[in-house]
Amino acid sequence: MHAIAPPARPLVAAALLVPLLGAGCVEPRVPGTGSQSPSTTSLEPVTPGPEDATLTVAVVERHPHGRDSFTQGLELSDGVLYESTGLVGSSWIEARTFPGGEVLARADLTDPFFGEGLTVTEEIAWQVTWQDGVAIARDPATLEERSRTTYEGEGWGLCSYDDDAERGAHLVMSDGTSTLTVRDPATFDARETIPVTLDGAPVELLNELECTPDGVYANVWTTDMIVRIDPRTGAIEDVIDASGLLSRAERQGADVLNGIAAIPGTDRFLITGKLWPVMLEARFVPR
């Protein structure tokens, strides 16, 4: 997962599978096809593109972002910006002030974990892993590990609602498929699934997530598109074209768009990407 093209996840998976492929034991699997729940529609999956976009990105301010941050999770809570990163041997989770960037806490993931999304509830900072099937419960203030639990399939994105009229407090998790999983915020147990669709067709490769009162925002992996999902129906209500945000110089060495954090009390979001040198403070506005 080091470059824009070809996509990063298959590079990592392929590297891990080379010895087995040589022995003729297994075939490579494209992420997002392994744990998908049966679809509620017979339509073929679609990938949102610029032609589907209803909104675009209006940049308000540019903030520095670590070139070594392979961003998998981003969330702003009570003035603290939490970020989690991936890659085996280089995964970490960090809490820092925003604005300001003062590091308050940091924890590294040991091998063989490949870090993925995160979310912060009142009592737990949850962090998921890619293909390890392990969710880590951490202290939100210190990021010290409290416990671990396991889940089926892959872990990609994660976000949370403190309260909801229908579901109460809950987590929302993506696994690279077209299905979101609603989970218990205390135990991480799965409660239900939400098939995500655009005009009735499933949308796969849902990546980093952000839960807001207006819906669940999701990066669509390998694209510059962000989608806004109605968490009750799974229908995509807006497609946001986030292309062209980096200059040519900033684009050098950068990977895909990934990372959305709503700024509480405003209509702004922080958005960034894997190995991006900047984090953008922006609004989503009509095209």
CATH number of the domain residue 136 falls in: 2.40.128.630
Query: In this predicted structure, what is the pLDDT of residue 3?
Result: 35
pLDDT band for position 96 (50/70/90)?
A: very high
Q: Is residue 97 part of a domain?
A: yes
Domain presence at residue 40: yes
Taking only the tens place, the pLDDT of each residue in 188-220 is 999 999 999 999 999 999 999 999 999 999 999
By mean pLDDT, which of 22-31, 70-79, 169-178, 232-241 is the weakest? 22-31
Residue 215 lies in a domain: yes
Confidence (pLDDT) at 160:
98
Dump pLDDT digits (tens) for 139-174: 999 999 999 999 999 999 999 999 888 899 999 999
Residue 3 lies in a domain: no
Q: State the number of CA atoms in the 13 A half-sphere of 43 facing the CB.
A: 15
Please count the structural domains in the chain.
1
Give the torsion through C-alpha atoms of 110, 30, 254, 74, to 10 deg: -60
Residue 138, in any domain of the structure:
yes
In this structure, is residue 17 part of a structural domain? yes
- β-pairing verdict for 103-108 and 115-120: unpaired
Q: Which domain holds residue 76?
A: 8-286
* pLDDT computed for residue 7 by the predictor: 39
Q: Looking at residue 41, what is its pLDDT?
A: 52
Which one-letter DSSP state was computed for residue 37?
Answer: P
Residue 1 lies in a domain: no
- Report the chain's mean pLDDT, rounded to a whole number: 88
Is 2 part of a structural domain of the chain?
A: no
Average pLDDT over residues 4-12: 39
